[in-house]
Structure 1
Amino acid sequence: MPPAVPAPPPDPKIVLFARGVLAILNAWPVLRIAVQESWGGPNAAAKRSWIASTLVDAFETDPPDQDQVEDILLDSMVEEFDVEIEDGSSETVARDIISAWKAACDGQVDFVLRLEADADRLVGRQLESFRMRGNGDDGWEDTDDGSNEDEMDVDDRAPPLMQPQSVERKPDSIIDDEGFELVQKGRGRPRN
């Protein structure tokens, strides 16, 4: 049997870029919450690494543009974490990934080191995630006044993304000497 030929070492540019992509994804709040809350299942962290490798592989063959990178991010988040990103952060992350590619091509190690330092500062910090409360009103109104269908009002304000749930604390139960729980009077209506 002929001796195994060792694989050639990876291109330093690709290694530097991969480090940058991992740092960017580790710092992306949406993906951090998805991994932290295991939205992708028990292998959520591995799915984050898979997204990074998908991006790096795309750049090795024919570097995509920012829109293509954003599409990869959005598709991956839907497929792997069942999350649709609507906050615009995917555009910023795609732009950062393009910047990391340019820095890696130029051999700018400091750029990637800064990305890694930023991501390292976030390690161990928990992000709070809140479930959105629905009241049955999705905010749409049908007001067909016969005007031109192509015209529409656009509200430039960003919608509120998440609202904290109100938490009602139940008073601690009181147990009597015989082990029975005492029934406590609830807050009734004020009497006149």
Structure 2
Amino acid sequence: MTSIDTTEFVEVETGTLKFENETQQAKFELGTCMAVYKWEELATAVENSWGGANSAEKRDWICGVIIDLFAESKAVDVQLIEETLLYAMLDEFDTEVDNDSGLEIAALVMKFYKQVSEQKYDEIAQLYAKWLEKKERGVQNHHVHVQEDPNNPDVSDNEGEEEVENEAEAEDMAIDIDEPELVEHQSAELGPIVDDDGFELVQKGGRRSKSRR
């Protein structure tokens, strides 16, 4: 991974970091959403409903929280963005992420902000185009598959691995951006998750317990 400067920041002397130009603000909001959607750990949590039935809405809420960091502050650094992402994952999805993936997404958000300030939108547009292409193909790469318990002889031979049906339903983004609407992919509720030793992982309240990578 390329070295990331956690002290990198942007600031203004007066007002907040929200762009006064509507086009710039819309592009930054889109870029922020695309960066958050790119976070694989969050995509996994959403597609497996670790945050409950409204997991997709929670992801949109996280996008809004990051956007508000800039709209309500005079200065924002990469570390603040990362901490906000990690706290949101823990609070909303009961999932603790202890790798550098949150830092990478935070750095991408900062990169997009600086590009938008220079009215450079190409990278955001490319990422958005790739997201649309992936959505149209119906690509789903983040599902946790439920495995048969090899230590339970009472399981019927007719009971194979459970299939998880995926639904792709169109939803309005929680953030009002000047781009085509994003489409959320939500999966049906998963059954028990069994590890390699045949032990069922504990899930509480319909939400997966903390997952460390």
TM-score, reference length from structure 1: 0.61
1:12 aligns with 2:48: no
- Please tell me whether the aligned partners of residues 89 and 96 of structure 2 are also in contact (alpha carbons under 8 angstroms): yes
1:28 corresponds to: 39
Structure 2 gaps of 5+ residues are 1-19, 160-213
Query: Helix, strand or coil: the match of 2:76?
Result: coil
- Please tell me whether the aligned partners of residues 31 and 124 of structure 2 are also in contact (alpha carbons under 8 angstroms): yes
Mapping of 1:57-136 within 5 angstroms? 57-62=68-73, 63-123=75-135, 124-130=138-144
TM-score, reference length from structure 2: 0.55
1:49 aligns with 2:60: yes
Relative to structure 1, the CA distance from residue 127 to residue 10 in structure 2 (aligned partners, 3 Å threshold; closer, same or farther) is: same
Relative to structure 1, the CA distance from residue 88 to residue 165 in structure 2 (aligned partners, 3 Å threshold; closer, same or farther) is: farther
- Please tell me whether the aligned partners of residues 28 and 112 of structure 2 are also in contact (alpha carbons under 8 angstroms): yes
- Rounded Cα–Cα distance in structure 2 between residues aligned with 1:108 and 1:165: 47
- Please tell me whether the aligned partners of residues 33 and 129 of structure 1 are also in contact (alpha carbons under 8 angstroms): yes
Q: Which amino acid aligns with 1:25?
A: V
- Please tell me whether the aligned partners of residues 47 and 143 of structure 2 are also in contact (alpha carbons under 8 angstroms): no
Q: CA deviation at 1:10?
A: 6.9
Q: Percent identity?
A: 27
Higher strand share: 2
Q: Which amino acid aligns with 1:46?
A: E
Q: Which amino acid aligns with 1:107?
A: Q
- Rounded Cα–Cα distance in structure 2 between residues aligned with 1:47 and 1:55: 13
- Rounded Cα–Cα distance in structure 2 between residues aligned with 1:47 and 1:172: 37
Q: CA RMSD in A?
A: 2.5
Q: CA deviation at 1:128?
A: 3.9
Larger Rg: 1
- Rounded Cα–Cα distance in structure 2 between residues aligned with 1:16 and 1:64: 18
- Please tell me whether the aligned partners of residues 17 and 104 of structure 1 are also in contact (alpha carbons under 8 angstroms): yes
Cα offsets for 1:8-35 (capped at 9, x unmatched)? x972222111100111111211111111
Q: CA deviation at 1:68?
A: 0.3
1:38 aligns with 2:49: yes
